[in-house]
């Protein structure tokens, strides 16, 4: 867990509340930090997933082709972690916000399914889902929450082909319609909230930069500074699970 953020300056909080109060069209981009308070490790934090594993080793199609079992051991470990995780107050605050504003769209980079578990509806998973398995042979794709999986690597019941995690790996393209919808919504929103992301992975981070380039107000929530922090209307040095409930009281 990142160091506890210092107490929030009231002025920043007030500004954030003001942005939220007047917003009818809200777009939210979340990253791994949003699930940190649910006990799911982030990618680039001190205990980040990537610390123990290098992304090139595991989250790429080449790595999977080279050693499907190793890649699957990593995903099996993560599925086990996520299976124990529950949505945190940040996830729940977004569900309340969605119910309150006329237009809402949540685009998450997370593959853990915690937003859906909390009840978010108008959302897309830009990087897929750790709970989806896709057959490399026949392309069949299904949700499978079994943990542990009966065998590693798992095989397709239909054609016997190798199953892969239904996530987007480095070098793979994102679901283009979901990405396009998020970028367009960001360009036309009254407020874009960017929470729990280091904003280094593209094109997902492009949802945030699209709002900035369109001159829309962006509210960042992150205990650490990021490349966006100096560009946004308000950057709250805070944990999303602590501050979002205050903003969406």
Q: Looking at the annotation, which residues are catalytic?
A: 127
Q: Which of 65, 143, 159, 200 binds Zn ion (CB under 5 A)?
A: 159
Closest CA to 218 of 247, 192, 184, 188: 192
| Residue closest to ligand BV8 (Cβ) | 33
The residues that touch ligand BV8, with contacts defined as CB under 6 A, are: 2, 31-33, 36-37, 42-45, 48, 59, 109-111, 127, 167-173, 195-198, 200-202, 221-224, 226, 239-241
Q: Is 161 in the site for Zn ion (CB under 5 A)?
A: yes
Please state the closest distance from residue 159 (CB atom) to Zn ion, in A.
Answer: 4
When CB distances are held under 5 to 8 angstroms depending on the partner's kind, the choice from ligand BV8, Zn ion, none that residue 167 binds is ligand BV8
Question: Is 224 in contact with 2 (CB distance < 8 Å)?
Answer: yes
Write the DSSP symbol of residue 6: P
Which uninterrupted H or E stretch holds 211? helix 206-213
When CB distances are held under 5 to 8 angstroms depending on the partner's kind, the choice from ligand BV8, Zn ion, none that residue 161 binds is Zn ion
Question: Is 122 in contact with 74 (CB distance < 8 Å)?
Answer: no
Please state the closest distance from residue 152 (CB atom) to ligand BV8, in A.
Answer: 16
Which uninterrupted H or E stretch holds 43? none
> What is the distance between the alpha carbons of residues 202 and 38, in angstroms, rounded to a whole number?
25
When CB distances are held under 5 to 8 angstroms depending on the partner's kind, the choice from Zn ion, ligand BV8, none that residue 175 binds is none
* Residues between 96 and 135 with contacts to Zn ion, criterion CB under 5 A: 135
Q: Which of 29, 94, 156, 167 binds Zn ion (CB under 5 A)?
A: 156
C-beta of 24 vs 227, nearer to ligand BV8: 227
> What is the distance between the alpha carbons of residues 69 and 248, in angstroms, rounded to a whole number?
43
Cα distances (angstroms) measured from residue 246 to each of 33, 89, 186? 18, 10, 23
């Amino acid at each position: 867990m990142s160091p506890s953020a210092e107490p929030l300056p009231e002025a920043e909080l007030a500004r954030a509340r003001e942005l939220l109060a007047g917003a009818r069209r809200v777009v939210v981009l979340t990253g791994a930090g949003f699930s940190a308070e649910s006990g799911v490790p982030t990618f680039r934090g001190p205990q980040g997933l990537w610390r123990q594993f290098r992304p090139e080793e595991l989250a790429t199609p080449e790595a999977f082709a080279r050693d499907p079992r190793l890649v699957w051991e990593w995903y099996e470990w993560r599925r086990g972690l996520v299976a124990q995780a529950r949505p945190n107050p940040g996830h729940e605050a977004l569900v309340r916000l969605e119910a309150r504003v006329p237009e809402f769209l949540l685009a998450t980079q997370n593959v853990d399914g915690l937003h859906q578990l909390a009840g978010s509806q108008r959302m897309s998973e830009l990087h897929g889902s750790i709970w989806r398995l896709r057959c490399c042979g026949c392309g069949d794709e299904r949700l499978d929450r079994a943990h542990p999986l009966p065998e590693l690597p798992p095989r397709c019941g239909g054609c016997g082909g190798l199953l892969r995690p239904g996530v987007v790996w480095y070098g793979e393209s994102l679901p283009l319609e979901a990405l396009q919808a998020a970028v367009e919504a960001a360009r036309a929103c009254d407020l874009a909230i960017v929470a729990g992301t280091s904003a280094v992975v593209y094109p997902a981070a492009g949802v945030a930069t699209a709002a900035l380039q369109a001159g829309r107000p962006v509210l960042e929530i992150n205990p650490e500074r990021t490349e966006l922090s100096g560009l946004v209307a308000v950057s709250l040095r805070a944990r999303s699970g602590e501050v979002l409930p205050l903003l969406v009281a």
